[in-house]
Chains A and B, each alone.
Chain A
Amino acid sequence: MRAVVLTILAALAVGGVAAALAGEEPVELKPGPGLDTVEGNCGACHSLDYIPMNSPFLDAGKWAAEVMKMIKAFGAPINDADARIIAAYLAKNYGPRD
């Protein structure tokens, strides 16, 4: 129902500033290349605990599909280059264990 658009915050979101709900605590993801891009993009719409929660069972193709779902179905403003960085980070750090 609510969709008051304030473009100022789009810029903030890209900078990694996400609005928190009451009681929300920082979720620390595994360090690695692409982490900043993940935090800045994914964290704008949802807390980052969605990522470890959905691990370690999504392979590279399935993580890439999840990123595409966020863009296509949920309208996440993530550019192609960032989408590739995010998918690669997720597959490497939260993909199936060997």
Chain B
Amino acid sequence: MFTRRNLLQSASASVALAGGLLPPAANAASVTLSPGVPAGLDSSATMATLPGKKPLIKLSYRPPNYESPLEYFRTPITANDEFYVRYHLADIPDIDTRTYKIAVGGEGANGRAEITFDELKEFPAYEVVAVNQCSGNRRGLSQPHVPGVQWGYGAMGCARWKGARLRDVLDKVGLKTQAIEIAFDGADGPVFDKTPDFIKSLPVWKATDESTLIAYEMNGGTLPHFNGYPARLIVPGWTGTYWMKHLVTINALTRPQGGFWMKPAYRIPLGEFPVVARFTTQEDATSTPITEMVVNSLITSHADGAKVRVGKITVGGLAWDAGYGIRTVEASTDGGGTWSAATLGEDLGRYAFRPWSFDLTTKHGKNTIVVKATNRIGQTQTATLLFNGAGYHNNVMQSVTLNAG
């Protein structure tokens, strides 16, 4: 029970390859994996190039799951062709903006509307610089390991998104007072019709937040095909699972969305993580949907084990959280005994990556640096993993050892 699209792809694959229309994607460059990911990735992960992208770390071809290598995180904005790719389902259509429409309605709406791509661009336009991070970023570092896409550090990126406010689009149909959630579907879908389509919902309060957008521009350009062309949802502060790509359907609901991807998928144990934003209509006695990102940081100037000179060096990286804003980044060179403040860099907004840098003087041999970020509501990173079966919310303080000599 394949879709027509796959049938056509399958039948035409040899022709296309012979004609050079689908360039082979292999790249001889070796892969540098994040420390701690499963050993099986040593043989299966490769650097590979999707159409329109620079080489990314290929974790799975189909559905495509590709993470950004560390060197793409040396600026607070991630370039479109360096941005990671994450799909649950393998049928990803090419979309023509001349026929593309977003259907807006649902039993919680007063009316229905169809919005063309041109009409979407006629709404007042807003911009936000925001981090998109997969809920499972760093899942591969979980101990014990848990099944899933074994992401290292790179299932995230930060871009300047431009689009219409979702609430302006919802105003076209009007919400009933009984509306509790807004549900979203994208044009991509499963290979088999019995596989649950990827549908997500947001509480009305988050859907109508001024920063929640339907974006049709990313860093001043169109969205890459593999990042949701021509329009996707932008949900600043919340994990990537809500940022529906290739958005085609918006439904206001008066009852909780009941699909697989809301439950049991994308759940965290109730109360395990210090998150403020709650999704109460989806909570049950033991679990809640993942919502906002936890505060985190990453050293991006040096990979673990990098060779450096003896003497003064600068280590730098990024910090981010759910939009409360980064208050401090601190570094320790004595295993967490004492901490010194890093220098914060350019502030592109509370939802953006915040760059930071830290000067230190290395001694001959191994030099270990631990970094932690704290946000403006006092949340900080954990020293040890808060384990959960899906491998979400890993914000363990990163430790990097540099070899000076």
Contact = CB atoms under 8 A, between A and B. Distances in A.
Q: Is B truly associated with A?
A: yes
Interface of A: 1-10, 12-13, 17-25, 27, 44-47, 49-50, 52-58, 62, 66, 73-77, 94
Given A1-B189, A1-B248, A45-B195, A23 B48 contact: yes
B60 A50 contact: yes
Nearest to B142: A57
A1 B187 contact: yes
B115 interface: no
Contacts of B44: 27, 49, 52-53
Contacts of A44: 2, 191-192
Contacts of B2: 6, 9-10, 12-13, 19, 44
A9 B138 CA distance: 36
Interface stretch (B145-153, B162-170, B276-284): B145-153
B195 A19 contact: no
Given A19-B9, A53-B59, A73-B260, A2 B25 contact: no
Interface string B36-51: 0011110111001111
Nearest to A7: B1
Contacts of A52: 40-41, 43-44
B38 A73 contact: no
Contact of B192 (A24, A27, A45, A58): A45
B196 A74 contact: yes
B64 A2 contact: no
Interface in B52-75: 58-64
A70 to B, nearest CB: 9
A23 B25 contact: yes
A6 B248 contact: no
Interface centre among B9, B62, B192, B197 (most CB of A within 10 A): B62
Given A21-B62, A57-B144, 14 more contacts: A1-B249, A3-B193, A4-B3, A5-B1, A19-B10, A21-B63, A21-B92, A23-B49, A24-B25, A25-B24, A49-B45, A50-B60, A58-B147, A74-B192
21 contacts: A1-B189, A5-B1, A6-B7, A12-B2, A19-B6, A20-B13, A20-B61, A21-B64, A23-B25, A23-B48, A24-B62, A49-B61, A52-B40, A52-B41, A53-B38, A53-B45, A53-B60, A54-B148, A54-B150, A56-B40, A76-B192
A21 B257 CA distance: 31
Contact of B3 (A6, A20, A62): A6
User: Size band of the B side of the interface?
Assistant: 35 or more
Interface centre among A10, A19, A50, A56 (most CB of B within 10 A): A19
Interface of B is mostly: loop
B190 interface: yes
B189 A2 contact: yes
Nearest to B21: A22
Contacts of A62: 147
A45 B90 contact: yes
B38 A54 contact: yes
Nearest to A74: B195
B15 interface: no
B306 interface: no
Given A8-B7, A10-B2, A23-B51, A1 B61 contact: no
B22 interface: yes
B258 interface: no
Contacts of B23: 23
B147 A46 contact: no
A68 B50 CA distance: 31
B188 A2 contact: yes
B61 to A, nearest CB: 4
